[in-house]
Chains A and B, each alone.
Chain A
């Protein structure tokens, strides 16, 4: 009973993450790379993503808040952020990163600041959803 409920929950959460555009096919690639020899692959990659993102967000905050904006450096950070979010299939976050880079290219400081709020917001939402989802996956596999 418990097991079925959990498994259904996992399936429904997963479906929703894809349907609502939080994740794309790249996330499926990650899942496909997980197997008995690498049973925690998805979680490991996602954890790396959280760490990387935290670092980049901090760097970008700093770059935006300290004096005249260095758009090159900003773009570089965002290029990295976009790269890692795209590598895990974080679709909405990736899209926000793209939007940010456009403001960067246009050297639009206001636009960058606003856009960065969007990036942070999407990232926070995704992180929360992924944490809950992966926790449920773990629970489900433990009661299997």
Chain B
């Protein structure tokens, strides 16, 4: 039962430089039965994903790390990334862009949070691929909006694992490994 449970549990990567907000989002997500990894910067997020900040487009070729054996050994199964916008160094927007530029991760839904209600900022994030934009402080009602985006991804997983009728084949077929997360090997919060 343990294995089944972990395999169907969604894993969310939360990124926020504020300790309080990290604690909050983590609790909100766990309350919704998501598995959570919380990091304090965009670069740590990329590191966690196994993306080398600079050569995200080449991570499959150049990265020594893992691509050797099954990618799944290193590739973490992240189903959604929720990130703060205002962070020192890499902003949430920068992180969004890097993820969308990555062949392995571009289909992971990304949600941006911000304490500032700036329409041009919100629009830019949404236009560049963010699924949602939450105004802080984030509430449970916001976290409830994540489910449909996570469920979209599960269609892919089902396709990969059971080879049934292809529904929306638009999701990635090119990196199937991503959809076979090995949760028991992950160090999560």
Could you tell me which A residues sit within 8 Å of B by CB distance? 26, 29-30, 32-33, 38, 41, 44-45, 48-49, 52, 79-80, 82-84, 86-89
Contact = CB atoms under 8 A, between A and B. Distances in A.
A83 B18 contact: yes
B140 A29 contact: yes
A12 B115 CA distance: 31
B137 A29 contact: yes
Given A33-B24, A52-B20, 10 more contacts: A33-B31, A45-B20, A45-B24, A52-B18, A79-B115, A83-B21, A83-B115, A84-B18, A87-B20, A88-B20
A60 B161 CA distance: 55
B139 A29 contact: yes
Decide if the interface of chain A is mainly helix, strand, loop or mixed.
helix
Contacts of B23: 44-45, 48
A84 B28 contact: no
10 contacts: A33-B24, A41-B27, A45-B24, A49-B20, A83-B21, A84-B20, A86-B136, A87-B20, A87-B24, A88-B20
| 10 closest A-B pairs by CB | A87-B137, A84-B20, A33-B27, A48-B20, A26-B137, A83-B115, A87-B20, A86-B137, A29-B139, A87-B21
B136 A87 contact: yes
A87 B23 CA distance: 10
Contacts of B154: none
Nearest to A46: B20
Interface residues of B, number: 15
Main secondary structure of the interface of B (DSSP, over half): helix
Interface string B107-141: 00000000100000000000000000000110110
B86 interface: yes
Interface in B20-57: 20-21, 23-24, 27-28, 31
A30 B27 CA distance: 9
Nearest to A28: B139
A73 to B, nearest CB: 12
B86 to A, nearest CB: 7
A82 B31 CA distance: 25
Contacts of A32: 140
Contacts of A86: 115, 136-137
A48 B18 CA distance: 10
B31 A84 contact: no
B90 interface: no
B19 interface: yes
Nearest to B139: A29
Interface string B82-121: 0000100000000000000000000000000001000000
A44 B136 CA distance: 19
Contacts of A79: 86, 115
A38 B31 CA distance: 10
A104 to B, nearest CB: 14
Contacts of A84: 18, 20-21
